[in-house]
Amino acid sequence: MNKQIMKKSPPIRILIADDHYLVRMGLIAMINTEPDMQIVAEATDGAQAVALFKKTTPDVALMDLRMPIKNGVEATVEIRKQDDVARILMLTALDGDEDIHTALEAGAAGYVLKNSTEDKLIPAIRAVAAGQYWIPEEVAKRLASRRMFEELTPRELQVLNELAKGLANKQIADVLNITENTTKWFLKSILAKLRVADRTQAVAVAVQRGIIRF
């Protein structure tokens, strides 16, 4: 009687992109305990992640959002241009609804927070490698909360960024080449859309949601 020989599936090949050495070492130690997973490359910035993805063609890229040279969103966009079926799992400490929305719009297949335990991250990697999407409950709630807010226009974002630098209305007007009255009108609209009462709250909420970054 012929015995059917079961072929062992190849391991899930993973690229890790994070500029923090200790984070990378922790992820490597965790993933190396899984017999069906293999680290094929490590990137310390977004530009290196793009280059290494092209060179190694991993099954999954674990991508941090905040990295030097190119951030995680910029790297994801470039990788997806090279390979429109690339599977990218965002692994980040940033939990703002705008951060999440931007990452998924860029083409990420999942979003996991760095405070997630091993029993949450490993299934996420397997799911994304299998072509599925992975949005944990806490991330889905953050994303759903975004629908409560009206989106800022590009000009309002410019005003908000200058506001975050501590500039007064007249200074913002000079920088953006608009009138002071126009600046005040934009500021009023920004406060209404962010549902806050003053400039300080506007900056605080915008940073918390991931709309602007310092």
Same-domain status, 72 and 24: yes
**Rounded distance, CA 192 to CA 33, Å?**
50
Q: What is the pLDDT of residue 3?
A: 46
Average pLDDT over residues 63-82: 95
**Rounded distance, CA 6 to CA 9, Å?**
9
In the predicted structure, residue 214 carries a pLDDT above the cut 80:
no
Q: Where does a domain end: 122, 145, 168? A: 145
105 phi and psi, to 5 degrees?
A: -65, -30
Q: Where does a domain end: 128, 145, 162? A: 145
Same-domain status, 61 and 165: no
- Asked if residue 4 is part of any domain, the answer here is no
**Rounded distance, CA 195 to CA 193, Å?**
5
Q: What is the pLDDT of residue 80?
A: 96
Closest C-alpha to 129, from 165, 93, 166, 89 = 89
Structure tokens at 103: 């990452």
Same-domain status, 53 and 154: no
What sign for the dihedral angle of Cα 109, 46, 38, 100?
negative
State pLDDT tens for residues 109-161.
999 988 876 788 999 999 999 999 999 988 998 888 888 889 999 999 999 99
- CATH number of 188's domain: 1.10.10.10
Count of domains in the chain? Answer: 2
Average pLDDT over residues 92-118: 89
**Rounded distance, CA 98 to CA 149, Å?**
11
Name the residue type at position 44.
T
Residue-number span of the structural domain to which 153 is assigned: 149-209
Same-domain status, 129 and 38: yes
Do residues 62 and 89 lie in contact, with contact meaning Cβ atoms separated by under 8 Å?
A: yes
Share of the chain above pLDDT 70, in %: 96
